[in-house]
Structure 1
């Protein structure tokens, strides 16, 4: 794939700590939010195609991830903090009516931002996320924090990522995604998952006024697709898509992720004023 050079890569002073953001291209801005413990690298395969479609792609590393420093208070266990951090980033960069796209905790963060800030957004795409606390055991996650320095933790991340990829993903790509993910900081990643376990904006979905689509992989064992569909049904005019053969990381698993995102973004633009109930669109295995 052709290398996409950022038009800017900078550290922004947010909450007294440097936060890293790379920006690619020109046009309507899209802020892309990564998953637990990871970095903006996860969006690598989407950038070139989105830039070619005339978007400005804004890829931050959340606090404590990638090139961004941890907050003064240490690893974050409140996804609402990340939501506020992204809103602050949008304001510092003076992004005009951006789209926000996120996956996993990034999807929950995107919904959090939409609840707080949707009047200033062009639309939101939340992948591999719903709006509620799904009953994950925060106590067991905190117990894992005591074991984060052992080599077995990186192995669990590696093999867990292999299992979390969908059945339509070629083995070579599964291995590459898993190798990328095992580089995460365990303290940060587990704190992110505690944030996932706590986060719940289900009672606030009616406050989202921007066009919204929720997307979930058919092989995503972290989520019940019905829960994602219920979240979409709670947002006025929201759309819902399920991806057969895809797991928890659509932006890394889908070979045509830029095209898919472009289609979903266009759909938000064309039908953004719709007030119909959630539209379930199922994408065929052959497209994966």
Structure 2
């Protein structure tokens, strides 16, 4: 495993790279960092992938974004494009969850012809219901309005972990999430609530797979399915008993992901045959 600090988008950014083979970029959730992929990365590398796991600007060990906390997920998508170019990632897969899934869809829209495939988890491409979240999220940026944000992050994470996840594992996920910077995570969620690529999904030019857990209290699986239906030949998976964080909740996730990526590669091969 190789750890680097790279200048990407004007930010000194922390990036982990492991393995050789087809490149895959793994994106974390709101307020979190690449640590969410710690159990997936080594196994995925062993399966023959070059796994790239960054901390987005302002997250984990990366320095803050040049313009401060980001509220537009398109900024992160542009940052990811620069990262992929900096690392020479030729036709990579992109896999992301929550805001990472939304960024994945943005990348599929923006440069799908240059991707091997995209797996967007816990992302619906945009929803009219999201705009109603912004006022409450803006209020959370005022410390006096939310004096126990770290506790609410912990309890809120427990609430959206799926019923299949053992209690000890759910507790670990929630405590790891409690580390996040509330200003960063709230800004991320404003970006989540306002991003919308639905009207552009029919132009996605790479094999795409949308995934959602049926215990994800933050998403309506019907919206995720509807987004998948807009993308030409997209795949859709509903995970029984899994919540908002499949890569942290699902045992053997790297092998499951390998199966999804193999299917997407086959889809691309058929499309160009």
* TM-score normalized by the length of structure 1: 0.91
- 1:51 maps to 2:45: yes
Q: 1:39 to 1:149 in 2, by over 3 A?
A: farther
C-alpha separation in 2, matches of 1:217 and 1:190 = 22
- Aligned pair partner of 1:16 in 10, 14, 18: 10
SS in 1 for 2:129: coil
Offset, 1:191? 0.0
- 1:180 maps to 2:172: no
On the 8 A contact 2:118/2:208 being kept in 1, the answer is yes
C-alpha separation in 1, matches of 2:65 and 2:261 = 32
Question: For residue 93 of structure 2, what is the aligned residue in structure 1?
Answer: 99
Paired residue total? 269
C-alpha separation in 2, matches of 1:138 and 1:187 = 14
On the 8 A contact 1:237/1:274 being kept in 2, the answer is no
Gaps of 5+ in 1: 1-5, 276-288
C-alpha separation in 2, matches of 1:24 and 1:37 = 23
Q: 1:66 to 1:148 in 2, by over 3 A?
A: farther
Question: For residue 234 of structure 2, what is the aligned residue in structure 1?
Answer: 238
- Aligned pair partner of 2:23 in 10, 23, 29: 29
Q: 1:144 to 1:150 in 2, by over 3 A?
A: closer
Question: For residue 152 of structure 1, what is the aligned residue in structure 2?
Answer: 148
On the 8 A contact 1:237/1:273 being kept in 2, the answer is no
On the 8 A contact 1:104/1:128 being kept in 2, the answer is yes
What does residue range 201-212 of structure 1 map to in structure 2 within 5 Å? 201-212=197-208
Gaps of 5+ in 2: none
- Aligned pair partner of 1:67 in 53, 56, 61: 61
On the 8 A contact 2:124/2:227 being kept in 1, the answer is yes
On the 8 A contact 1:148/1:186 being kept in 2, the answer is no
* TM-score normalized by the length of structure 2: 0.96
Measured against aligned partners, the alpha-carbon deviations of 1:120-161 in whole angstroms (never above 9, x if no partner) come to: 110000001111134232011000100279651000000000
- Aligned pair partner of 2:265 in 253, 264, 269: 269
C-alpha separation in 1, matches of 2:73 and 2:45 = 28
Q: Mean alpha-carbon deviation: is it higher for 46-55 or for 147-156?
A: 147-156
C-alpha separation in 2, matches of 1:73 and 1:106 = 20
